[in-house]
Structure 1
Amino acid sequence: MKTKLMALLAVLLFCAGANAQNAPVNEQPAKKILIAYFSWGGNTQHVAEHIAALTGGTLFRIEPEKPYPTEYTPCTEVAKAEKEADARPAIKKRVEDWVQYDTIFIGCPVWWWTAPMIINTFTEGYDFKGKTVIPFCTYASTYRDETLARIVELTPAAEHLKGFGAVSKNTKGIEEWLKEIKMLK
């Protein structure tokens, strides 16, 4: 009986080894994509949703524990005070199972010539080693490049791909950009 069990085990191990050899060598596990974004007026959310629809990524809204004022001028005053104080506004929730994500899009509006301070809070809360970060932002007329560069600066342990800036909620050019950085076929 013991000999039959050993023979059966040997046959099973041989078959498993043969199947492993026949598996495609170049097949990689699918990369998991996270689209983390902060949006005050809805523009960045619109762009993030478009990126998610094209890439199949998971959306994560970066929400402050204390909401920003809903009116424009008071919101800009709070944003300016946060920037001047180098503040780190608290975030409501964390990304679940962070380790499963390989690629992280990080998006925000341009506030006071750069990324809002809540982006600092977000990036300081996670380990980006081994991740690929792709910045994106929404802006009215200027400081796109400075904001994209700030997101890269905040994630030095990550690899980085070329970022994208959208004027307001305009999604024109996003599909071409995603193809250029090899996030779409």
Structure 2
Amino acid sequence: MKTKIITLIALLIAGGLNMYAQDKKILVAYFSWSGNTQYVAEQIAKQTGGTLFRIEPVKPYPTEYTPCTEVAKKEKEDNARPAIKNKVEDWDSYDTVFIGCPVWWWTAPMIINTFTESYDFKGKTVIPFCTYASTYRDETLAKIVELTPDAKHLKGFGAVSRNTDGITEWLKEIKVIK
């Protein structure tokens, strides 16, 4: 009898931890160059039960830092829209979309513009997140909000590199997990 009660309590607790994800279908869309943003996206997906979607450019960015920054700067100066290799399957089924990226040239990389312009965000909840070295977290989170004006928005999260300290507390604060 005691074992049955403990099992029942464990099942109730496990079921209640992620109530939001059970009621809402979550997409965790991210662009990552160095792997930092991917790591944070994976942590978000793991805790929310969300589906990961990697935003990949048709033409990959240079793998070396300086050449990559030069390409990113030129894209920003040209207001470019780098083509994306893949599409989100069953877009309309998602209620909540996390959008994440690194900070490039004081803001979101231009491929985030391409992504947000490719889908209808009306009726969706967008939650921005980013990775950064030292500054421009708030500007980058605000840019993602600006790019999705038809969505409802929840407070974003910024991680220094791969540091995900505080991520669980943030997800609880915005009521995405219990």
* TM-score normalised by the chain length of structure 1: 0.85
Structure of higher RCO (CA pairs closer than 8 Å, 6+ residues apart): 2
Partner of 2:98: 105
Percent identity, aligned pairs only?
83
Structure 1 gaps, min length 5: 1-27
Aligned match of 1:155: 148
Q: Deviations over 1:79-102 (max 9, x none)?
A: 000000000000001100000000
CA–CA separation in structure 2 for the residues paired with 1:160 and 1:82: 27
Distance 1:142 1:30 in 2: 35
Distance 1:66 1:36 in 2: 18
1:54 to 44, 47, 50: 47
Greater Cα radius of gyration, structure 1 or 2: 1
CA distance in 1, matches of 2:63, 2:162: 18
* Equivalent AA in structure 1 for residue 75 of structure 2: E
Aligned counterpart in structure 2 of residue 80 of structure 1, from 73, 87, 110 = 73
Give the C-alpha shift of residue 113 in structure 1.
Answer: 0.1
Matched residue, 2:127: 134
Post-superposition Cα deviations, 1:53-78, rounded to whole Å, max 9, x if no partner, equal 00000000000000000000000000
Q: Which runs of 5+ in 2 are unaligned?
A: 1-19
Partner of 2:89: 96
Aligned length: 159
Shift of 1:30: 2.0
Displacement after TM superposition at 1:167 (Å): 0.2
1:145 maps to 2:138: yes
Q: Distance in 1 between matches of 2:24 and 2:58?
A: 30
Q: Which residue of 1 aligns with 2:167?
A: 174
Distance between the aligned counterparts of 1:110 and 1:171, measured in 2?
16
**2:13 aligned partner:** none
1:121 is the counterpart of 2:114: yes
Specify the SS of the correspondent of 1:166: strand
TM-score (norm 2): 0.88
Distance 1:146 1:124 in 2: 19
Q: Take 1:183 and 1:132, find their aligned partners in 2: how far apart are those partners?
A: 11
RMSD: 1.3
Which runs of structure 1 show a deviation greater than 4 angstroms over 4 or more consecutive aligned residues? none
Q: In the alignment, residue 119 of structure 1 is paired with which amino acid?
A: I
Matched letter for residue 86 of structure 1: N
Instruction: For residues 100-146 of structure 1, give each alpha carbon's deviation from its aligned partner in whole angstroms, at most 9, with x where no partner exists.
Output: 00000000000000000000000000000000000000000000000
Residue 31 (1) aligns with residue 39 (2): no
The C-alpha deviation readout for 1:15-68, integer Å capped at 9, x for no partner, is xxxxxxxxxxxxx97210000000000000000000000000000000000000
